[in-house]
Amino acid sequence: MTLWPLAVYSALVLLVVAGMLGISYVLGPRHRDAATDDPYESGAIPTGSARLRFHARFYLIAMFFVIFDLEAVFLFAWAIGVRELGWAGYIEVLIFIGVLVAALAYLWRLRALEW
């Protein structure tokens, strides 16, 4: 088994990335105004620090959203191939939904979804 196609592909990827970085360096803007590093806030002058501390619950809710949203992607993929999968696929998706419901019930019981 030869690895030369992988080597050629990797070299081409590195060449494209280096070319894009080089072109952006050559053609990019060179000015350094005082307002260049200031955040744009729709014309309002920003006040205070951008480093705010958030409670861990914000991150937990975000993680739960990502997890359950990703599960929806798996269900959409199952819905596309439902006819080819037959009864075995139906039983597997029932088990999958059962695990999701059990996880949701566990989170609900821990009161992880309450503020």
Predicted pLDDT of residue 103: 87
Predicted pLDDT of residue 51: 77
From first to last of its 115 residues, the chain has per-residue pLDDT tens of 688 999 999 999 999 999 999 999 999 887 777 766 667 767 677 777 767 787 877 888 888 888 888 888 888 888 998 889 899 999 999 999 999 899 889 988 988 777 7
* Any domain includes 92: yes
* Any domain includes 68: yes
CATH code for the domain in which residue 81 is found: 1.20.58.1610
* Any domain includes 56: yes
* Any domain includes 113: yes
Tokens read off for 88? 């075995």
* Any domain includes 99: yes
Predicted pLDDT of residue 60: 82
* Any domain includes 75: yes
Coil, strand or helix at 29: coil
* Any domain includes 74: yes
* Contacts within 8 Å (CB) and 24+ apart, 60-69: 60/112, 61/113, 64/107, 64/112, 64/113, 68/100, 68/104
Exposure string for 85-110, b = 16+ CB within 10 A, e = fewer: eeeeeeeebeeeeeebeeeeeebeee
The answer to whether the pTM exceeds 0.85 is no
Predicted pLDDT of residue 72: 86
Q: How far apart are the first and last CA of the chain?
A: 57
Name 75's Cβ contacts closer than 8 Å, sequence gap at least 6.
93, 96, 97
Predicted pLDDT of residue 59: 84
Q: Which of 97, 101, 82 is nearest to 109 (CA)?
A: 101
Number of domains in the chain: 1
Provide the domain limits for residue 101.
52-115
Predicted pLDDT of residue 58: 83
